[in-house]
Amino acid sequence: MSMSDTITLSLDEAGELARKVLLKQGLAPDHAAAVARTMVAGERDGCASHGLYRLLVTANSVAKGVVVPDAEPVVSEPSPALVRVDGRGGFAQLPFERGLPLLVEKARKLGIAAMALNNVVHFAALWPEVETLAEQGLVAFACTPSHAWVAPEGGTVPVFGTNPIAFGWPRPEKPPFVFDFATSATARGEIELHRRAGKQTPEGWGYGPDGKPSTDPEAILAGAMRTFGGHKGSALAAMVELLAGPLIGDMTSIESIAADEGRMGSPIGGELIIAIDPAGFLGDAVAQHQRSAEAMFDAIEGQGARLPSVRRYVARAKSLVEGVRLPKPLYDDIHALLEGNEA
Ligand code: NDP
Ligand code: PYC
């Protein structure tokens, strides 16, 4: 992308633009603020498929009536170690923020706690959530199903969502170790970006509607995506369905896409987040065992391999200084959302 094809925004400008567009879409101010924080974090960290591009995605979900734009989340405690937040059909970010303090308090008190977000609409990456927990000294795990877009290994008919798994590990004096990836060969957002750019996808991402392997993003979006790592990704995708679907009383990806009724909105359903306090197992020995973890990280980086999250932290440092660069067509599409009738 040359400079002339892009528009550069400071992070404050990006946040302001996102909030303005989301308010225009009809989101309540607290939802708009929470959603904008997540999108700007994605753009800032070089995660284009889950950055400001998602303003187009939320616009569609609001316009099609998939999301309740002013839903008031309800926090409850089903048991001493559990938090439930009923998002009442709103986007997932505000319910996460509302349940977070109680989840942290319970994890610190009991050693481990879990939070179910129910009845939420999910368009976002999961790393902001596990990173937030890891920054508070907790080990964190999160997963969510999506829409049935992904075929199980050995088949070509969608059953699973793109079902991301995210993990965060707190590190002394350093930003946390975090990974977050779809259990599909890639996130659906990446295939959408290939379609927007008129580019073929790499081999192995999916099948066309005829069940044949394809590199045409339109065909894969209409057909089926593939899991990553063959049968292993397929089993992990099934695990995500079970943990953040039936276990917490919410929808599988098959049920989510049925509930969408062809509106092509973002997935509706649940998310499971688990937080573990290392002191629960280790007491005073936390620092000693953290040194073993650091030795493992050193062994990875010492041979020239990189840790997941490092690319994001480098992109973040750059964006804090230089701002973010949006492709001009995307910037124009986002601005077009501000035109038209007042929401
Ligand atoms: P990737 O396949 O790009 O994998 C991303 C993860 O792998 C990151 O943690 C990344 O770290 C790490 N990574 C990538 N390359 C390397 C490497 N060479 N060495 C070490 N680590 C590496 O992501 P996906 O396309 O699978 O998913 C992208 C996003 O989409 C995720 O954030 C996910 O949450 C989101 N998503 C959300 C869904 C939802 O339903 N809400 C559904 C599906 C996906 P780094 O960031 O530093 O590069
Ligand atoms: O990119 O697969 C994806 C995705 C689904 C929901 C949010 N992101």
Span 227-245, pLDDT tens digits: 999 999 999 999 999 999 9
C-alpha 189 – ligand 2 centre gap (Å): 6
Length of the chain, in residues: 343
Examine residue 193 and state whether it is found in any structural domain, yes or no.
no
* Token duo for residue 282: 């280790």
- Mean pLDDT of the 271-287 span: 98
**Residue 191 beta carbon below 6 angstroms from any ligand 1 atom:** no
CB 215 within 8 A of CB 223: no
Which ligand 1 atom minimizes the distance to the CA of 146? 40
Residue 341 has pLDDT above 60, yes or no: no
**Residue 185 beta carbon below 6 angstroms from any ligand 1 atom:** no
Same domain membership, residue 157 and residue 262: yes
Examine residue 324 and state whether it is found in any structural domain, yes or no.
yes
Same domain membership, residue 173 and residue 33: no
Whole-angstrom distance, CA of residue 246 vs CA of residue 264:
23
> Which ligand is the nearest neighbour of the Cα of 269?
1
Task: Quote the DSSP letter at residue 50.
Answer: G
> Which ligand is the nearest neighbour of the Cα of 307?
1
CB 147 within 8 A of CB 161: yes
pLDDT tier at 343 (50, 70, 90 boundaries)? very low
C-alpha 146 – ligand 2 centre gap (Å): 7
CB 148 within 8 A of CB 229: no
**Residue 189 beta carbon below 6 angstroms from any ligand 2 atom:** yes
Residue 68 has pLDDT above 80, yes or no: yes
Examine residue 59 and state whether it is found in any structural domain, yes or no.
yes
* Token duo for residue 234: 């397929």
The span from the first CA to the last CA of the chain, in angstroms, equals: 34
Same domain membership, residue 135 and residue 54: no
Which ligand 1 atom minimizes the distance to the CA of 123? 41
Examine residue 337 and state whether it is found in any structural domain, yes or no.
yes
Supply the pLDDT for residue 286: 97
Examine residue 206 and state whether it is found in any structural domain, yes or no.
no
- Mean pLDDT of the 308-313 span: 98
Examine residue 191 and state whether it is found in any structural domain, yes or no.
no
Examine residue 103 and state whether it is found in any structural domain, yes or no.
yes
Same domain membership, residue 251 and residue 151: yes
* Domain of residue 25, CATH code: 1.10.1530.10
Examine residue 159 and state whether it is found in any structural domain, yes or no.
yes
What is the overall mean pLDDT for the chain?
96
Same domain membership, residue 51 and residue 132: no
Span 72-131, pLDDT tens digits: 999 999 999 999 999 999 999 999 999 999 999 999 999 999 999 999 999 999 999 999
Burial of 103 (0-12, 13-18, 19+ CB in 10 A): buried
Supply the pLDDT for residue 158: 98
Same domain membership, residue 90 and residue 148: yes
**Residue 208 beta carbon below 6 angstroms from any ligand 1 atom:** no
100 is in which domain, residue-wise? 73-184+227-308
Span 141-155, pLDDT tens digits: 999 999 999 999 999
Supply the pLDDT for residue 342: 42
Same domain membership, residue 241 and residue 111: yes
Same domain membership, residue 257 and residue 160: yes
Whole-angstrom distance, CA of residue 146 vs CA of residue 306:
29
Supply the pLDDT for residue 3: 62
Residue 2 has pLDDT above 80, yes or no: no
Dihedral of CA atoms 98, 101, 103, 109 in degrees, nearest 10, equals -160
Same domain membership, residue 135 and residue 21: no
**Residue 188 beta carbon below 6 angstroms from any ligand 2 atom:** yes
Supply the pLDDT for residue 177: 98
C-alpha 140 – ligand 1 centre gap (Å): 16
Residue 49 has pLDDT above 80, yes or no: yes
Same domain membership, residue 304 and residue 155: yes
How many folded domains does the chain comprise?
2
Task: Quote the DSSP letter at residue 169.
Answer: E
Same domain membership, residue 275 and residue 237: yes
* Domain of residue 109, CATH code: 3.30.1370.60
Whole-angstrom distance, CA of residue 162 vs CA of residue 220:
13
Same domain membership, residue 167 and residue 95: yes
- Active-site annotation holds for 49: yes
